[in-house]
C-alpha cells in the first residue's frame, strides 16, 4: 500500500472513531440522506456528524467510490493537460505566478502534484498546499501549517476548511522569500 493509500486508510479509521460509526453505517447515512451531489453530501456530513471539511470530503469520496485524487484520472488526460486547462481563458494571466510557485516548491524535494478541477493539490503524506486561480486576477496559495501568526498577507482561514492559511498573488514577483518560507514550513510539516 502506498503512502497516500495508507494516509487515506488512517483518515477513514479516524473518522470511524470520531463518529462512533463503521464505514458501512456512514455509507448508509449518506444513502439515506437522498443527496447525490458531492458538495451537498459533504455539507450534510459536516453538519450532522460534526466532521471537518477534509474528513467529510474524504468520506464522500469513499462512499461514492471515487478516489478524488485527480481530475487527470477522471478525464483520462495528462496532469499537464489539466493544469493547462485550469490556466486557460480568463485565468491564463495567472500561469506565470503558478509556475513561479511550482519552481520554488520543486526545490524542496519529493511531493505529489494532484490536479483537481480548479486547482492543484500538493502533497507529501498529506496535503501541504493548494495552488489555483482565486479570481481572474489573483492566484490563491492555500497552506496547511500550524502555529503561524496571520499577517496582512497571510490570511488565517476558518477552522474545518481545506487550508489553514491563504496567500493571494497577482504577479510572479510576489513569490518571494517570505512566501517560499511559509510554503516550506507547510511542506516540512506534511511528512
Q: Is 1 exposed, middle or buried (0-12, 13-18, 19+ CB in 10 A)?
A: exposed
In degrees, to the nearest 5, what angle opens at C-alpha 182 toward C-alphas 110 and 72? 45
Based on the fold, state whether residues 112 and 27 are members of the same structural domain: no
In a domain, 68, yes or no: no
Based on the fold, state whether residues 85 and 29 are members of the same structural domain: no
Based on the fold, state whether residues 41 and 122 are members of the same structural domain: no
What average pLDDT does the chain have? 85
Based on the fold, state whether residues 29 and 103 are members of the same structural domain: no
Based on the fold, state whether residues 178 and 97 are members of the same structural domain: yes
In a domain, 42, yes or no: yes
Based on the fold, state whether residues 100 and 174 are members of the same structural domain: yes
Banded pLDDT at 186 (limits 50, 70, 90): very high
Based on the fold, state whether residues 136 and 89 are members of the same structural domain: yes
Query: For residue 175, is pLDDT > 80?
Result: yes
Based on the fold, state whether residues 92 and 165 are members of the same structural domain: yes
Domain boundary among 12, 33, 63: 63
Residues 104 and 109: their CA atoms lie apart, in Å, by 10
Number of domains in the chain: 2
Based on the fold, state whether residues 49 and 113 are members of the same structural domain: no
- pTM comes to 0.65
Instruction: Between 67 and 123, name the one with better pLDDT.
Output: 123
H-run or E-run covering 156: strand 155-156
Based on the fold, state whether residues 82 and 135 are members of the same structural domain: yes
Based on the fold, state whether residues 31 and 109 are members of the same structural domain: no
Q: Residues 93-130: pLDDT tens digits?
A: 999 999 999 999 999 999 888 888 788 889 888 889 99
Cell of 120: 492543484
Domain boundary among 63, 93, 108: 63
Label the pairing between strands 165-169 and 155-156.
antiparallel
In a domain, 150, yes or no: yes
In a domain, 69, yes or no: no
Predicted local confidence at residue 67, as pLDDT: 45
Give the mean pLDDT of 14-37: 85
Predicted local confidence at residue 82, as pLDDT: 82
From the list 162, 108, 114, the residue with the least C-alpha distance to 140 is: 162
Label the pairing between strands 127-133 and 112-115.
unpaired
Based on the fold, state whether residues 81 and 54 are members of the same structural domain: no
Give the mean pLDDT of 68-85: 65
Give the mean pLDDT of 181-188: 96
In a domain, 120, yes or no: yes
Q: Residues 137-169: pLDDT tens digits?
A: 999 999 999 889 999 999 999 877 778 999 999
Domain boundary among 63, 93, 112: 63
Give the mean pLDDT of 80-89: 88
Banded pLDDT at 70 (limits 50, 70, 90): very low
Residues 4 and 103: their CA atoms lie apart, in Å, by 23
Instruction: Between 1 and 28, name the one with better pLDDT.
Output: 28
Q: Let me know: does 180 contact 103? Beta carbons within 8 Å.
A: no
CA atoms within 13 A on the CB side of 144: 21
From the list 11, 54, 174, 88, the residue with the least C-alpha distance to 183 is: 174
Alpha helices in the chain (DSSP H): 3-19, 23-33, 38-49, 53-63, 71-75, 79-86, 95-106, 177-188
Domain assignment of residue 133, given as a range: 74-188
What's the gap between Cα 165 and its chain centre? 12
Amino acid at each position: 500500500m502506498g503512502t497516500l493509500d495508507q494516509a487515506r486508510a488512517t483518515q477513514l479509521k479516524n473518522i470511524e472513531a470520531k463518529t462512533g460509526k463503521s464505514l458501512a453505517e456512514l455509507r448508509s447515512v449518506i444513502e439515506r440522506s437522498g443527496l447525490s451531489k458531492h458538495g451537498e453530501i459533504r455539507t450534510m456530513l459536516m453538519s450532522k456528524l460534526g466532521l471537518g471539511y477534509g474528513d467529510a470530503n474524504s468520506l464522500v469520496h469513499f462512499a461514492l467510490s471515487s478516489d478524488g485524487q485527480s481530475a487527470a484520472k477522471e478525464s483520462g488526460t495528462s496532469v499537464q493537460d489539466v493544469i493547462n486547462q485550469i490556466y486557460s481563458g480568463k485565468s491564463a494571466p495567472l500561469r506565470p505566478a503558478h509556475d513561479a510557485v511550482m519552481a520554488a516548491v520543486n526545490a524542496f524535494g519529493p511531493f505529489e502534484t494532484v490536479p483537481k478541477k480548479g486547482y492543484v493539490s500538493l502533497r507529501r503524506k498529506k496535503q501541504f498546499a493548494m495552488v489555483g486561480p482565486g479570481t481572474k486576477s489573483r492566484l490563491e496559495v492555500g497552506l496547511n501549517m500550524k502555529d503561524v501568526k496571520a499577517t496582512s498577507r497571510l490570511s488565517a482561514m476558518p477552522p474545518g476548511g481545506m487550508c489553514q492559511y491563504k496567500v493571494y498573488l497577482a504577479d510572479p514577483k510576489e513569490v518571494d522569500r517570505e512566501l517560499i518560507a511559509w510554503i516550506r514550513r507547510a511542506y516540512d510539516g506534511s511528512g
